[in-house]
Chain A
Amino acid sequence: MMNLFSALELGKNSMLAQQQVFQIIGHNIANVNTEGYSRQVVDLESVSPSVIGLKDGGRGVNLAGIRSIRDRFIDSQITERKQYNGYYNSLSGAMATVEALFDEANGLGLSDSLSNFFNAWSDVSNNPTDIPTRNSLVSKTQSFALATRNSYQQLTDQQEVYDASIGTLVDDINSIAYEIAELNEKIAYAESSGNPANDLLDARERRLRDLSEKIGINFYYEQANHSVTIEVAGRPLVSYSSVNELSVQRNQYNSNYYDLYIEQYGLPPLDITTEVINGQMGALITARDGQTVTGAGQITAAASAGGLTTLTFSQAHGLSVGDLITINGETRSVTQLSAGNQVVVADFTTLPAVGDAWQERNGYIPEYKKQLNKLAGGLIYNINALHQQGYGLNEGVAPLRDFFQMSTAPAGVTVTGVAGNTVTFSASVAATLNVGDVLTIDGETRLVSSVAGNTVIVNNAFVAATGVNWEYANIQGAANTLAVDSAIAADSSLIAASSLATAGVGGAVGNNDIARQIAQLLAANNVVDADNNGSGDYGTFHEYLHDLYAEIGNASSTAQYELDANGSMLTYLQDKRDSISGVSLDEETANLMQFEKSFQAMGQFMAVISQLTDVLMDIT
């Protein structure tokens, strides 16, 4: 039965309910610029009479709930898109830096330095006895060698930067994962008490997006406890309130760079470095190590001996010395290439099984470094081979001199026999020489086509070498150590420009044959061993270098293009989300006006009821 006091009660409850609305409107307006905020609406419901059916009226309005307007599908799409954004953002940034290292556009780059180097040889061929011209050649060589070494070193420096970034990124990712786990708990608690945790849900969505940008994730919403389960590379990262942390460990087989690990329940951490292919983390790993691809064919045999494992593949593997190979999550680097599609690597913790798949990493910085090495190797091979046949000024006996510095033979390892293409050493040279390396014996320079223990086969037969002296140059790292021979640097008269003896009266000091031939290498084809099999197959030197630039330019422009495309898609999705969840100030203002009026009206009602109550009071 309705009475005046229950009318006051109705008034009071209604005004309280409507005050809540003001709160929410204010909350929305305050958060108009908050990233990822979903606007909240109040659900009001009328309160039914205490006993239905009698002639009692309703008891006003009640706050049924506060809910946020969100579309989980759009939210998921945005989160997913963020991982590509993160990836291409980082990758295009990395490639822009690499591009800047090769400033060819302004004529100050490696290509011009190479031209200057060969032109200096031409100048010597025009005037072989002139010392200043020879000194100029030495100085141009040193410039070029320095430019090459610097380019190589700067690429390595970039890898170290990415490596360090991976380390700090892991900390960021772990801290976000913990935040999400905490939010999962809080949301579950709130929702289970029947209170919608709208702002917490927004906060969790924001964290999810941040996480996705940093490392590609798969995520699922759990019905049971309203939590989000997050997986990285197919392994759980966040599961309700528990977190399997990411960690990093240095990999001695990958220049001591970080490998990425994820905790596993009841098991040791798992190496997922090659599985992370999106987000900022994916870009850093790709830029540093190359893009992970599945290797061709499978393992047909794996044999371990003396700490080294020999792997046999079912088909040509296309690997070079120093390449990274990953089997069952373990990464090693190739130390040796053998015949019959075999490679030798350091032992794995578990020996690979026949039929196992394998992964390699292609392109990006390791590939650019390899190409610089091959360029340097090609120069060392071709130029030294000619130079060793020449005479410096005032030399009667062939000095068999190197132009570019080579490495001295390891102590105690001597040549025991030279027969045609085959060289036999006194001990195994497998740790010293590899396919494609440059080998010089008694002033005759060749390329190694295969190494097996003590035996080395070269690309062309030796003519007169007997094995008294030998030296070599590794292709791997050739660009890092390229230098003019130290004796020549000290005395340019030792440059062997002449093909005939130059000593004494009638000595052919004006002969420029060797210098001229070396200068002509600039236009020579097949001077670089691009496929690393012990014989030159690509040239000219400039073409090889320019191919490298084209590769870098393409990688950079592709990354930029993808970033733009993704950026545009992301903007579209965010606008779409806004149209559903975004706060419209005009809408909120209209609501404000609407509830202001009704609040005022309620107030008036209360005033009237109060007056009526006074009338009753006055009766007594």
Chain B
Amino acid sequence: MSMRPVESTWYRDFIYNLNRTKTRYDDALSQTTSGKKLNHLSDNPADMAYVLTLRSKIGQIDQFEKNINSASGFLGASESALNQVQNLLSSVVSLAEQGASESTGAQERNIIADNIDQVRDELMNYANTEFMGNYIFAGSATDTVPFVKAADTWDAVNNIWIPGVVTYQGNSDTINIQADFSTTVATNVPGDQVFVNQNDIFDRLSILIQALRRDDTATIGTQISSMNELIDQISESVGTIGNKTSHLTQIKGMLEKFKTAMESKMSSLEDANMAEAISNLSREEVALQAALQAGARIQRFSLMNYLE
């Protein structure tokens, strides 16, 4: 380069190049110890921005899964409660058939009526199921007991007790959760939709109980088929819940796949390839060593050495 290199040139160039070697060594060391290629915003701004976007999307997916799990819990509790209700209604059907039989006496019918009254109360308890401190069949009025029963009233005409009227105190609101970027799923079925709107279950049971107490076999007979309608009504709600649950499972599966793809993309941008990083580090170590050794040899020979 220059025709007349002097000592200070050697030292200056040595220091300059040494610093650059050390910087490369430093970068290799950084990558190996942190396991990441991107340690500062300036390492690769475009990649860094992409990595941050991926990280935030992955975070959102994690939250969606959390939402789905929460919803699944709610829906699961609803489903098991309604399964129990179905069982109770089946038992009512057997009791009703017994009561309809000609061979059953009035005394027996009274006992059956009392049994069914108890089942009605049990059914109401299931309708008032709580999950994590919230009533699941109250719509969005989750701190209000969905169904309340008034006191029994005396029917002076027929000389029987009328089971207390059950009224719905909740609302018809659905609670939705965000299952993915553009899908909301309802996590509940409102109590009125399940137990009241199509057919008022408690009312129907009350009618059956009164018929038994009155020995009104004709009415008992017709009420048996209505019981089956009630079972269908509950089954419909169970079906709806089942659909929601499987929909959520499907969404969760897709989210998992999406997340895996993004995580792998993020890793390819951000994570250092360990084998590569370590071999870089070794290479830079050797380079650094060579540079330092060369530096020590600067000015080994000088005219001064040879003067007498």
Contacts and interface: CB of A to CB of B under 8 A. Distances in A.
B66 A549 contact: no
A579 interface: yes
Interface stretch (B173-181, B217-225, B287-295): B173-181
A375 B85 CA distance: 52
B225 to A, nearest CB: 34
A506 B66 contact: no
B140 A575 contact: no
Interface stretch (B42-50, B97-105, B112-120, B228-236): B42-50
Chain A contact patch, size range: 35 or more
Given A111-B52, A112-B59, A508-B171, A105 B36 contact: yes
Contacts of B8: 32-33, 578, 582-583
B140 A549 contact: no
B55 interface: yes
Contacts of B134: 127, 129, 510
B3 A546 contact: no
A115 B56 contact: yes
Nearest to A517: B178
Q: B39, B140, B304: which has the most chain A beta carbons within 10 Å?
A: B140
A575 B12 contact: yes
A263 to B, nearest CB: 38
Contacts of A127: 70, 132, 134
B142 interface: yes
Contact of B63 (A111, A122, A546, A547): A122
Contacts of B5: 575, 578-579
Q: A112, A505, A507, A508: which has the most chain B beta carbons within 10 Å?
A: A508
Given A500-B140, A506-B144, A579-B3, A553 B9 contact: no
A268 interface: no
Interface residues of B, number: 61
A122 B66 contact: yes
B7 A512 contact: no
B67 A582 contact: no
Interface in B180-195: 181, 184, 188
Interface in A93-128: 95-96, 99-100, 102, 104-105, 107, 111-112, 114-115, 118-119, 122-123, 125-127
Nearest to A560: B42
Contacts of A129: 133-134, 142-143
Given A111-B52, A127-B132, A585-B304, A509 B1 contact: no
B169 interface: yes
Contacts of B70: 126-127
A509 B173 CA distance: 11
Contacts of A578: 2, 5-6, 8-9, 12
Given A560-B42, A584-B7, A574 B63 contact: no
B170 interface: yes
Q: B4, B41, B188: which has the most chain A beta carbons within 10 Å?
A: B41
B152 interface: no
Nearest to A99: B41
B159 interface: no
Interface in A120-172: 122-123, 125-127, 129-130
Interface in B132-158: 132-134, 138-144
A34 to B, nearest CB: 9
Interface stretch (A7-15, A41-49, A253-261, A518-526): A518-526
Given A123-B66, A516-B178, A549 B59 contact: no
A567 B12 CA distance: 12
B166 to A, nearest CB: 15
B139 A512 contact: no
A111 B169 contact: no
A111 B56 CA distance: 8
User: What are the 10 closest A-B residue pairs judged by CB atoms, nearest first?
Assistant: A510-B142, A553-B45, A579-B2, A553-B41, A582-B6, A556-B42, A511-B140, A557-B42, A126-B70, A508-B140
18 contacts: A100-B40, A105-B39, A114-B56, A122-B178, A127-B134, A500-B173, A509-B144, A512-B177, A523-B181, A546-B53, A549-B49, A550-B41, A553-B45, A578-B5, A578-B9, A579-B2, A579-B3, A582-B7
Interface of B: 1-9, 12-13, 16, 36, 38-46, 48-49, 52-53, 55-56, 59-60, 62-63, 66-67, 70-71, 132-134, 138-144, 169-171, 173, 175-178, 181, 184, 188, 302-304, 307
